[in-house]
Amino acid sequence: MRDLVKTQQIMLNRAQIQQKIRELADELCRDYKNRLPVMLCVLNGSVLFFVDLIREMQIDLEIDFVKISSYGNSMKTSGEVKILKPPDCHLKGRDVIIVEDIIDSGLSVNFLRNWIAKFQPRSLACISLLVKDEAAVVTYDCEYVGFHIPNAFVVGYGLDYAQKYRNLPDIYVLDPEFVGET
Ligand code: IMP
Ligand code: MG
């Protein structure tokens, strides 16, 4: 399957992704210089983006991890979001940056922003590598966006289908026929 998925169309290759990450890191460094932001990785999908992003950021920062419930094994959202692992550090008074892999319906990011806001951070922002603008079912805020993409299901570079394909360095469009979800 891992090699077969490479017959699918590449949406963004590794060079395009890494170039965009350098631009995003520069932007964050300008905005968060001397603020010691807490970079909050949303597990599991954001992990590749997260490590590449923080490696490019030439400022002091802290990292933490939050896990929220995902889609299960389907391409469609269950619509229900839960915290499976809360962050460890104290967020009160901190500059918190949520690092997301992809925003689809917007439900996860909205839920997370509201949940974190209760800890009274000094500021709260979100960065997402990918945003599917046409898939939004709620309005949400995302201050930093890597790529605005069409409403397709994508895998690779952290993004999975049924937990697979996260370790591909490029991002592919997954045809529903390929996995038998038509
Ligand atoms: P949302 O709550 O609908 O915005 O979905 C956000 C989460 O759904 C993301 O963090 C991903 O884990 C997952 N997701 C949404 N679209 C895709 C996709 O195209 N490929 C893989 N995962 C996706
Ligand atoms: Mg995710």
**Which residues, other chains included, contact 78 with Cβ-Cβ below 8 Å and sequence gap of 6+?**
69, 71, 72
What integer pLDDT is reported at residue 178 of this predicted model?
A: 79
pLDDT at 182: 61
Residue 76: the pLDDT is 63
Which residue of 8, 47, 71 sits with most ligand 1 atoms within 8 Å of its CB, as the best mutation to test the pocket? 71
What is the tally of helices (H) and strands (E) in the chain?
3, 9
**Among residues of the chain, what percentage have pLDDT more than 90?**
82
Q: Is 95 a catalytic residue?
A: no
Q: Which of 52, 95, 101, 104 is catalytic?
A: 104
Half-sphere exposure of 177 (CA within 13 A, CB side): 2
In the prediction, which pLDDT does 139 show? 95
**pLDDT mean values, one per 10 residues, the chain (182 residues):** 75 98 98 98 97 98 93 61 94 98 95 97 98 95 98 96 94 86 66
Residues with CB under 6 A from ligand 1: 45, 70-71, 77, 100-109, 153-155, 159-160
Give the span between the Cα atoms of 26 and 91, in whole angstroms. 24
